[in-house]
Amino acid sequence: MSQRSASPAEAPEPGENIHEQVVRMATRLEPRINHLARLVVERQRAEVPGFDRLPDDMRDLEIASAARHTFRGFLRGVRGLADTDAAVLRERATQRAAEGVPLTGLLRAYHVGAEVVADALSAAARPGEEAALLWLTRRLFTTVNSLAEQAAEAYLLGLADQQAAGRELAAALLRGDAPQEVAARCGLPLEPGYLVLSVRAPTAQEPVAARRLLHQVLVRLAPAADGRALSLPNGQGGHILLPVGTPHADLVRHLSTGLSRPVIAGAALAATPEDVPAAAEQAHRIAAIARSPGVHRLQDVLLDYHLAGSKDSADELAALLDPLDGHAGLLEAVAAFLDCDLDRRRTARALSVHPNTVDNRLARAAQLTGLDPHTTHGIQLFGAALTLRRLAEDPAVPG
């Protein structure tokens, strides 16, 4: 699509008395195209959000080339020559969408280019060429508006294609259905592993509201995921796949404020793409069990998760006692304390130690495990973990 021609009301054709001046000004400016392109790159890097993070070769080659292409097309057009096609600019706009550059940044980049050309035209104008300068400036505004509209359209179309491809890859990962092939076909990177979130509202909601909630969460997590998050909605909210290594603290921070309603997110780690289906099932069960808004991991709902009949929690539940291994008397003190119905004196008699020794050992066990055997939550988790360890150590119980 070539640049849209201006209507007479927007930028009237120059009269015979200024036509030659317009041509002369355009001719004087053309040798400076390379310099102007470099100036555009420098200003965009300094003024357009996100452009300072683009690779050097992209700025110095792609963006500079697009700027030269645009300037040359504008100057040819005002001289009455065949204008250059805008296809390369639409292609660049599609690339910016894929690279995660905000649309506002892309449009700002166009206006930076227009400012550079306007300044150059003013500097090139000579006394008596004021009318020609005014005509060229109005023609510049019309051209930039047309190019910005085409770039925005290409950007949004590219973004829609990218989002559709992302949903297709997310679906393949969640199903365990040849994600490598889908990633290659869609031109998307496949992460070494994923942090899988299952997102829902604390109460039931309509599907439209559920999708809206998932979108809000996705937008909030975009900075933590560096633009590499995938998502797939469902009737309750949906799944979000973040690159492995995304800090848990970032999830908590980004989801603690700024959402239109509270959200419950279950989180599970998939060490490889092949582990995503199992991690997604675990994250979904965690989200279903969790009762309070926030980001929940398996250890946050471990007992309820295990009591719900989930076999994949047994190892982690039993591992709660691992910090006590190698510390003489701590595991025995916790076990005896529970067996003696939390009576420290009975526990002391059972262990043949002083009650103060029981207190010290229980305090050290709480410090090492993060669980307090004096609380209901600690009692339940310690009891379940001790039972699982006893079963694992009993040769009569099949593994």
Tell me how many domains the chain contains: 3
Residues 121 and 225 in one domain: no
pLDDT of residue 188: 83
What CATH number does the domain containing 223 carry? 3.30.70
Domain endpoint, select from 109, 134, 159: 159
173 occurs within a structural domain: no
pLDDT of residue 5: 42
Biggest alpha carbon–alpha carbon distance for the chain: 113
Q: 82 vs 53, which has greater pLDDT?
A: 53
pLDDT of residue 195: 93
Among the residue ranges 11-15, 62-66, 81-85, the one predicted with the least confidence is 11-15
Residues 78 and 151 in one domain: yes
Residues 140 and 29 in one domain: yes
The pLDDT confidence band at residue 386, using thresholds 50, 70 and 90, is confident
pLDDT of residue 211: 81
Whether the per-residue pLDDT at 375 is higher than 80: the answer is yes
Q: 160 vs 287, which has greater pLDDT?
A: 287
Helices 16-29 and 130-175, axial angle in degrees (round to 10) = 50
The pLDDT confidence band at residue 7, using thresholds 50, 70 and 90, is very low
Residues 338 and 289 in one domain: no
What is the pTM assigned to this prediction?
0.53
Residues 244-276 pLDDT 10s: 988 877 788 777 776 777 888 999 999 999 999
Residues 26 and 104 in one domain: yes
Residues 185-221 pLDDT 10s: 888 889 999 999 999 888 767 777 778 888 888 888 8
Q: What is the mean pLDDT of the chain?
A: 84
What does the pLDDT average to over 146-150? Answer: 88
249 occurs within a structural domain: yes
| Amino acid identity at 236 | Q
Residues 63 and 139 in one domain: yes
Domain that holds residue 134: 16-159
Say if residues 297 and 267 touch (Cβ distance below 8 Å): yes
- Cα–Cα distances in Å, from 105 out to 110, 148, 153, 239? 9, 12, 15, 29
Cross-sheet strand order for the sheet of 294-296: 230-233, 237-243, 194-200, 264-270, 294-296
Whether the per-residue pLDDT at 57 is higher than 80: the answer is no
The pLDDT confidence band at residue 2, using thresholds 50, 70 and 90, is very low
The pLDDT confidence band at residue 32, using thresholds 50, 70 and 90, is very high
Residues 20 and 155 in one domain: yes
- C-alpha angle 157-228-251 in degrees, rounded to nearest 5: 125
Domain endpoint, select from 300, 333, 351: 300
169 occurs within a structural domain: no
pLDDT of residue 396: 42
Whether the per-residue pLDDT at 391 is higher than 50: the answer is yes
pLDDT > 90 in the chain, percent: 33
What does the pLDDT average to over 28-46? Answer: 90
Residues 112 and 208 in one domain: no
Tell which residue, 198, 226, 184, 352, has the closest CA to residue 286: 198
The pLDDT confidence band at residue 99, using thresholds 50, 70 and 90, is low
What CATH number does the domain containing 341 carry? 1.10.10.2840
What CATH number does the domain containing 47 carry? 1.10.490.10
Residues 262 and 377 in one domain: no
Domain endpoint, select from 240, 275, 300: 300
Residues 319-361 pLDDT 10s: 899 999 989 899 999 989 988 999 999 999 989 999 999 999 9
Q: 322 vs 1, which has greater pLDDT?
A: 322
Residues 150 and 66 in one domain: yes
164 occurs within a structural domain: no
pLDDT of residue 65: 86
The pLDDT confidence band at residue 1, using thresholds 50, 70 and 90, is very low
